[in-house]
Every structure is written in C-alpha cells, then in structure tokens.
A and B are shown apart, each in its own frame.
Chain A
Amino acid sequence: MDRKIGQLSQNTAESAPMIARPAMSMGAAGSRPAFLYVSIRDLLSRKISSGELPPGTVLKEAPVAGQLGVSRAPVRRALALLAEAGLIFEAGGQGFKVGQAAPVQLPLRQLHQILTGEPEEIDRSPSWERIFDEVREEITAAMPFGSWRIQEAALGDHFHVSRTVAREVLWRLMDRRLVDKDSKSHWIVGQMTARDLRETLEMRALMEPAALVQVLPGLDRAWLARLEARVAALIRAFPQVEPQALDQIDQAMFQEMFAGLRNSRLLASIRRNQISLVVPHLFRHHFPLTDDLAALLDYARILHHLGRDEAEAAQVLMRSHLLRIGRLTLARLRVLSLLPPPRRVTWLIPAHQGGL
C-alpha cells in the first residue's frame, strides 16, 4: 500500500491551511514566543550551539517531551523545524541526531539535566493562544471521520493548561463553527457532511469575491508579488511539489489575503465558512496532487489581476474558482471516507449515533 495511511495526525500537526502563522506567533509576553513548539525549538537550538547536546546525541520525540513535561506534538514540530534548519538529521527510524556524528544515546537523567538545567527554559504559561491552532488542527482533521465529543478536562491535561484555558479555546472554536454544544452542554465536533461543504462553499462564493475588492487597496504589493512568484514556481515544478507548499498557498490566498478586512463581521463570517479548506489539505497528504494544478492556475490568474489593480476581473475569477471546486471537494470528501480515522487523542472521543 503506497498511500499514506495512518499518518494523518502527523502530517496535519506540522502544517495546514488553517494552522498557526509562525511569523505572527509572538504572544503578549514580550519577546517570549507564544507557541510551545517555538520555545522548544529555541531551547534545543541553544543547547546544540552551546555543545551541551553534543554531536551524535539522539533526540526522540517521546523522551524529549517527557523530560520537558509537554505533549509530543510540539516536540515533533520543533524537531522537524530543526531538521529543516540542518541542525539535526534523521537517525534511521531512531528519531533524530545532532549533527553528522554517529548516534549516541544519552541516559535519560543526563538528558533531563541538560534540558531543564535553567529555570523557565520554555514558556509553559497557560495561554489559549499557545494551543489554539493545535487544537483546531486536531479537530478539523477528525471532522470527516465522524462526530466527536471533546472532553474539556482531558484537553486541559493533554496541553498542561487549566480547564479555564481549555474552555476558552473551545469557546473560540465555537465562534468559528468548528465545535458546538449539544443539548446536554457537551462540546461536540459534528461530522463534516456534503451539505456543510455545499452550503459553506456557496457562502464563500458570495463573500470572498466581495471581500477581495475591499481588501485590494490595502494589500501589500510586495506580498502579492511574492505570492504570485511562489504560485508560478509551483506551477512550473508541478507535480514535483510538496503538499505543505500547497497548504501554505491556500492559507495565503484565503486567510492572509483577508486578514486586513476592516469589516470585522465580514471577516468573521468568511472564517466561519472556510471548512472546505480542510478537504484539500487532508486529501493532498494521502493522494496524488493531480487536481491541485487547476487550482494553482486559478490562483495565478487571480493574483495577476490583483497585481494590476483589476479588482473586478480578480473577483470574477475568484468566484468561478470557488464554484468550480464544489464538485471536486464533495468527491474528495467521499474518498476520505475510505481512510482510517486519525490517531486517537485522549480528549477527542467518538460520539456514536451519527445524528446528534
């Protein structure tokens, strides 16, 4: 079986159209990163540069997470970023190792001392912001696979935050229509249905072209030009492109694009109706990217006109793109039903009885 069964959560934890924007992740605490994975990445990077973690040291997700008292997901992400930066390398199924030297397993006690030698090495302050994107990502990844109940207390435990913070996150997700409360006041993630997709895509086709005209005057031209160049590069390289790169383009086209909307109600409505972005995101991590080329070509045309201040042409193209992808998105949802459900997380439990 060549297709990536059972890797859903791994893939989705690392990048997504609806995930954090690292560049904007600075929290309220001054220079302290708002996201746990950034803190962990910085910590490990410091320890590698200082030589405390010598070349060859094996770094595995579970022991690092255990010693730091955090969940595995942010560690996984931090390790991936360090690998991308060339500080650590895959150690053949043994996690990662520092530099190119032969792998060395540090005793756990020593690893503990190195990682937690200084107080406040990493930011573990309770903050809904810090975990919001990760929770959202887990939830959206589970949506095509049934209805789920969220256990508030387990969610808090999982992320080492208080129940108040967990609740804060869930209220905000409810505002995005990603979670709901049932008649017994349980937090519920409803199954994504074909109707949800059809209706939200109709809403998107009404709102996003209109929003495009509103944001165009304020859009950073350099940002637009860079985005256009990225899309062009992907079209040239297609199909030799990474799914993550396509996820990032989707995020730029439909999320960053509208971030400057002055009409906050319009912006909120747009965000509430973008669940259809989850489908190509999940799909392209398991299946060939074949049908994403047509989307890239649509984006290239839209960006071309935006770059020339031709708002109306861009608007028409955006609308026709959103109408075009309807049938494909519904077909992809049916295909997703053949995948095994994502890895279980303790705080998300299947809610039987489909019609909640």
Chain B
Amino acid sequence: MTDTVLRVIGTPATLTPELRARAAADLPFGIQFEVLDGLDCQRRGVMAPESFDVYDQWFHSLDLLWTAASIRPIDTTRLARWDEVTIAGTRPGANGRQPGSWPGSLLYAQSDRSLAATPQPGAAPQISMLPTTYNVDSFVWTPDMSALRRAEEAESWAWLLDGRWHGRAALAADPAASVVELALAARAAGLVDIADPGDLTIEEIDALFAVLMPLRRSGHFTRFWATSDDAVRLMTPQGSGGGPVISALWSPAYYAMRAMGRDLHYAVPGEGYRGWHSGLCLSAALSGERLEMAYAWLNWWLDGVPGAIMARQGYYMSVVQPLRDTLTPAEWAFWYAGEPACEDLAGSDGQIVVRRGERREGGSYQDRVARIAVWSTIMPEHNYLIRRWREFLGD
C-alpha cells in the first residue's frame, strides 16, 4: 500500500457513496474524492489541472478541458477492455452526426492536437476521454398534474412552458442540459423556430429568452436545482403547499423518490430524449506513480462493479458484458432489456426503487437511446448564451 493518494473530482451523478466505498475496498491505493456540482467541476477542470488526477464528468465539457490543455491523451493500449467500449450503443468511430455534443465526435486525439471521430491512422488510438456511463433524460410529472392534463394528451417537452401549471415547473441549473430542453420545449410549443436545439444561433437564443424571461418574471418556474439530491429536496417540500408538479429530472432523483413511495411519471416525450454521456479524463499534470494509479482507476471503471452501481440508478455503461455478469438476471431484464420487473429491485443503497411488475419508461436501452433528439452540449455560442442564462437564473 502506497501513501500516494489518487485525487478524483466529479459530480454526485457518478461519485456516489456506494461507488466510493467499493473503490476504496477494491483498489490497492487511497482515493480522495471531491464531489462538486457540474459547473464548479468544469471550472476546476479548466482552471486547476494540478488540483486533480482524474476528472469524471460529461463529454460536453471535454472540449473546454482539451482546449485549455488541462488534460492529457489516454493511451488505449493501457485499457484492458478498450475493444469492448461502445458509446451509447454505437461503436466508437462510427459516424453519425447527431445534434448537440455527440460524444463520439471528439473522442480521438490527433497528432496536431485536434479531436476527431476517428483514430489517427498508423498508431494505437489515443483518446481524450474514456466513455463510461450515459443515459437519456426527460422530465417527471406528478398526479397533481394529471388532473390538469387532457385525457390522452401526449407527453411533450412543451409542457415545461405550459401555463396550466404556472408556478409549479422546475428546471436544472446547468445550461448544457436545460437550454437544449427549453429549446425543444419552445419549438414543440410553437413559440420559437429553432433549426438545431444543440446549436442555437444568436437570433434563436434571443427569441428563446424573449419567451423565457416573461415566464420567469411572472413566476412560472419554481427554482433551479443543481444535483439529483437538490432536485429531490425541491420535489418533496416540507409542510403544506405543493412543490413542482413538473420538473426536468435525472434518473437517480427519480428512483430515489420512487424509493420514498412517490407516485411520479417519468416522461417519454414525443420530441425525444436529451442524451448525455460521462467519461474520465487524465489531468495534464499527471506523471509517475499517480499516472499508473489513474490507469488502474480507469480500468476498474470498466470491470463491471461500477457499471452495476450506475445501472441501479438508471444509468447505462460503455462496456456491457462484465456489467451484465455483475447484475442479477432480474436487474438486467428491468434496467437494460426494458422488461417488467419479475421481483422488487433495490437501488445501490439497498432501498427498493422498483416494484415487481413495473416496467421502465421508454423500454429497452436500445429503444431509449434510439429516441435521443439532442445531446447535452456547450454550444458554439455558449459565451453569449451563458450571459443570457445567468440573467434568466436571476444572478
């Protein structure tokens, strides 16, 4: 056992207590976890590469870290399961333009330091970020809302902006997710013409906020949550008075509330899901013993146990087979195959999150992934957008 400690920064989405405990038990070195919210984590990643060894976050922040030279390429020959890695069900390198930050488009480091969808020919692939866990997201709605909803009305992102539940809609604070959701919503509601919700023009941003600002000022939105735990707190208000009846939501928050017995519907919006992909990056400052430990950490992530921990909060994993071997057949059937649960299923913390007979919304992982309309993204006009967004949040 060495005294050197591996420093991992990330968000609560992946650095869950169960994952941290299991890592401490499995790996022969100490690990120091620093759990930050998404935006703080990005800032740290860009501004202070010396302060961490491994960065665990979303693919859409990759381009910021790479451009700031905060991270170093990952040598795929040092990843035992590299050949088994797929991105959201697609082979790495397979082409396919998808709106937003499709993780595959920036995977491979080239000799001129640009990033591309295919490896540099003639050498073992060097990658910018190791794809790990991913999911497709939408929003949740409560029985309170069913009363206001027309019978047989199809689930739509437009509901986020719908005046029938004025004052009871909630959103995530991270614009990389929320702005694409609001773009889908405004387009579906017929309020703004938007060509590509993953790449808004200046005019589209202005038009979108011309719709959003009055809604915000009139109190349509409750508040903006930063993490799954924060979303759960927001959705389960103390005392009298209802919380939001509709909220953008990540799956750990959904299953945490299911464990509490909350009756909620996770939507399958007609316009499609918002996809996201997580991954691991190596700090540019890594070398020597810490670099070896970082590769051990990356390899551990692909071995099955972390994937199973992620699966029990609704996430998918880039390497499937060892995960499938780790989950019980009943777990695999529910989480991945989209079949009705043949028994009660526990989340990572042991609480029952799925009851026998329930079926995952949207079906199997292939079905759900096929319905991704847009990936979370930091858009080309991010620099302009972020100022409108802060104004919208009311900073």
Contact = CB atoms under 8 A, between A and B. Distances in A.
Interface string A251-271: 000000000000000000000
Interface string B368-394: 000000000010111110111001000
Interface residues of A, number: 32
B46 A338 contact: yes
A195 B202 contact: yes
Nearest to B385: A354
B387 A146 contact: yes
A327 B114 contact: yes
A328 interface: yes
A352 B202 CA distance: 16
A17 interface: no
B113 A195 contact: no
A193 B202 CA distance: 8
A290 interface: yes
A336 B383 contact: yes
Contact of B69 (A147, A288, A294, A337): A288
A19 interface: no
A185 interface: no
Interface stretch (A1-9, A107-115, A305-313): A1-9
Contact of A335 (B50, B68, B112, B391): B68
Given A294-B113, A334-B64, A335-B46, A193 B384 contact: yes
A332 B68 CA distance: 8
B64 A335 contact: yes
B287 interface: no
A337 B378 CA distance: 11
A330 B386 CA distance: 15
Interface string A315-329: 000000000000110
A28 B112 CA distance: 47
Contacts of A1: 47-48, 51
A56 B230 CA distance: 58
Contacts of B49: 2
Interface in A271-290: 287-288, 290
B229 interface: no
A290 B69 contact: yes
Contacts of B303: none
B334 to A, nearest CB: 39
B380 A354 contact: no
A333 B206 contact: no
A45 B68 CA distance: 40
Interface string A73-109: 0000000000000000000000000000000000000
A327 B116 CA distance: 12
A194 B43 contact: no
B48 A2 contact: yes
Contacts of B386: 337
Nearest to B65: A335
A291 B391 contact: no
A3 B65 CA distance: 13
Nearest to B46: A338
Interface string A189-203: 001111100000000
Given A194-B380, A333-B383, A2 B113 contact: no
A331 interface: yes
B69 A191 contact: no
A331 B47 contact: no
B381 A194 contact: yes
A335 B43 contact: no
A305 B294 CA distance: 46
Contacts of B387: 146-147, 191, 354
Interface in B38-64: 42-43, 46-51, 63-64
B50 A193 contact: no
Given A291-B113, A334-B67, A194 B42 contact: no
Given A1-B48, A338-B46, A353-B391, A294 B63 contact: no
B66 to A, nearest CB: 8
Interface string B107-118: 000001110000
Nearest to A334: B382
Interface string A336-350: 111000000000000
B348 interface: no
B364 interface: no
A355 interface: yes
Given A335-B68, A354-B388, A191 B383 contact: yes
A3 B47 contact: yes
A209 interface: no
A182 B43 CA distance: 34
A330 B68 CA distance: 12
Given A334-B64, A338-B42, A194 B383 contact: yes
Nearest to B113: A291
Contacts of B114: 327-328
Interface of A: 1-3, 5, 144, 146-147, 191-195, 287-288, 290-291, 294, 327-328, 330-338, 352-355
Given A194-B384, A287-B68, A337-B382, 20 more contacts: A146-B387, A147-B387, A191-B383, A193-B383, A194-B380, A194-B382, A195-B202, A294-B113, A327-B114, A328-B67, A331-B67, A333-B383, A334-B63, A334-B64, A334-B378, A334-B382, A334-B383, A337-B386, A354-B209, A354-B384
10 contacts: A144-B383, A191-B384, A194-B380, A194-B382, A195-B381, A334-B380, A334-B383, A337-B386, A338-B47, A354-B384
